[in-house]
Structure 1
Amino acid sequence: MTLDQYRDIADRLLAPWVRAAKAVGATPNAVSVVAFGLAVGAGAAFWVATPLAYAGGALLVFLNGWLDLLDGALARELGTESEAGDMLDHVLDRYADVVVVSGLAAGLDQFGLGLAAVTGVLLTSYLGTQAQAVGLDRVYGGLLGRADRLALVGATTAVTALVPTVAGYSPVAALLVVFAVVGHLTAVQRFVSAWRQLA
């Protein structure tokens, strides 16, 4: 399961947004910073953990994901792609992941589960970029990429806004378990793929 394989489709859908961002003079780095701000807002909303807050957080996560696609597309359109911009984007994405997952865990007062989930998320992303660091292509595939995580966070928190518990369990807690288990499995999957290419 990975939505990253649909990046080409997303780029076509982004075209009018890229034109609009270009028209108002937005820079890719500015878009990255705004996307991070939205993630911080989502994390805070998930910490509040009321139905309305979950709904608002779901919207902010969707917007964060959209802008995370937009910054790269805008950089390509402007011809301003750079290693510095790529680094800023990835650093802010990792902090956004930490803030969102931590907010989900804090809202449930499940910090142990949150730790397991956030390490799964971070190691998945680390293995994707580490492959590039040793001379391979950057790895986006695997069971659960960042686009998948954002989609799951948005969908799960939107459902939680309407149905706080299912059979006595929070959908958000189930999501954190998925991130903890499948996140680490994805990291291992990416490691094995890179190792085979290097061996």
Structure 2
Amino acid sequence: MTLDKYRSLADRVLNPFVTLAAKLGLTPNGVSVLAIVVAAAAAGAFYLGGEQPIFYGVGALLVFLNGGLDLIDGALARRLEMASEAGDLLDHVLDRYADIIILVGLAAGIGRYDIGLAAVTGVLMTSYLGTQAQAVGLDRVYGGLLGRADRLVLISIVGAIAVVVTEPIQGFTVVGWLLIVFAVVGHLTALQRFYYAMGDLR
């Protein structure tokens, strides 16, 4: 289950927004920076959602916007012929910080830093294995059980659900269960990517 394989379709859907960004004079790096600002705002909304669930809905919308901006920056770089290794590095660094910020906001909102830590490490290892494959001469790996696009979609959906489903289920809120999924499936995805990469290296 990974939505990253539909990147080309997403690029076509977002084409009008890429055109708008170009007309506004935005740069790919500027869009990347805007994306992490939106991610920080989402984290703040998720933190407040622990007390006032309506903010989970705000956070969900902001995460959806963050995902859109993450696609736009790359498409804009290609449109303006500004794609570079430096821009790619900046994009990936900011994406990782965005992942951390959003997950910390979710964990802080429910006061569960333990499962938040497990979720963060799972997500970071997934991303690390994806790029490490490229570092050893393979193609960058986007596949596996749960890629970044999948995570952002799940966060948006669960954020919307958390607005109305506020009671714990088997001891955890829906946000708590989301973090558990990220912790478990994140590490499984990392191992899956490691397995495929090692197979290609033999």
Tell me the TM-score normalised to structure 1 length.
0.98
Distance in 2, matches of 1:117 and 1:27, equals 32
Residue 52 (structure 1) aligned with residue 54 (structure 2): yes
Distance 1:71 1:147 in 2: 15
> Which 10-residue stretch deviates more, 94-103 or 157-166?
157-166
Q: How many angstroms does 1:51 deviate by?
A: 1.4
* Displacement of 1:14: 1.1
1:165 CA drift (Å)? 2.5
**Distance across 2 between alignment mates of 1:69 and 1:166:** 34
Instruction: Please give the secondary structure, in 1, of the residue aligned with 2:114.
Output: helix
Give the partner amino acid of 2:17.
W
Residue by residue over 1:11-70, the C-alpha shift from the partner in whole angstroms, topping out at 9 and shown as x without a partner, is 110111111111111100000000000000111111112212111100100000000000
Distance 1:14 1:113 in 2: 34
Counterpart in 2 of 1:21?
21
Q: Give, in whole Å, the separation in 2 of the partners of 1:189 and 1:114.
A: 22
Partner of 1:74: 76
Distance 1:167 1:144 in 2: 23
Counterpart-to-counterpart distance in 1, 2:123 and 2:200: 23
Aligned pairs for 1:43-192 within 5 A: 43-49=43-49, 50-165=52-167, 167=169, 169-192=172-195
Structure 1 distance, partners of 2:74, 2:166, is 35
Identity %, equivalent residues: 62
Structure 1 segments, 4+ long, off by >4 Å, are none
> SS state of the match for residue 102, structure 1?
helix
Residue by residue over 1:83-116, the C-alpha shift from the partner in whole angstroms, topping out at 9 and shown as x without a partner, is 0000000000000000000111111110111000
* Deviation for aligned residue 1:147: 0.1
The one-letter amino acid of 2:97's match is Y
For residues 154-192 of structure 1, what are the alpha-carbon distances to aligned partners after superposition, in whole Å with 9 as ceiling and x for unaligned? 100110012212546311011000000000000000001
Take 1:108 and 1:118, find their aligned partners in 2: how far apart are those partners? 15
Q: May I ask how many residue pairs the two structures share in their alignment?
A: 199
Q: In structure 2, the residue corresponding to 1:67 is in which secondary structure?
A: helix
Deviations 1:105-133 (A, max 9, x none): 11111011100000000000000000001
Q: Counterparts of 1:185 and 1:145 in 2: how far apart (Å)?
A: 11
* Structure 2: gaps of 5 or more residues: none
The one-letter code matched in structure 1 to 2:190 is: A
Structure 2 counterpart of 1:70, one-letter code: I
Give the Cα–Cα distance (whole angstroms) in 1 for the partners of residues 54 and 88 of structure 2.
Answer: 34
- Paired residue type of 1:182: V
RMSD (CA atoms): 0.9
Q: Please, what TM-score do these two structures have when normalized by structure 2?
A: 0.96
Unpaired runs of 5+ residues, structure 1, are: none
User: Residue 14 of structure 2 aligns to which amino acid in structure 1?
Assistant: L
Could you tell me how far apart the structure 2 residues matched to 1:118 and 1:143 are? 16
The 1-side partners of 2:164 and 2:54 are apart by 9
- The equivalent of 2:3 in structure 1 is 3
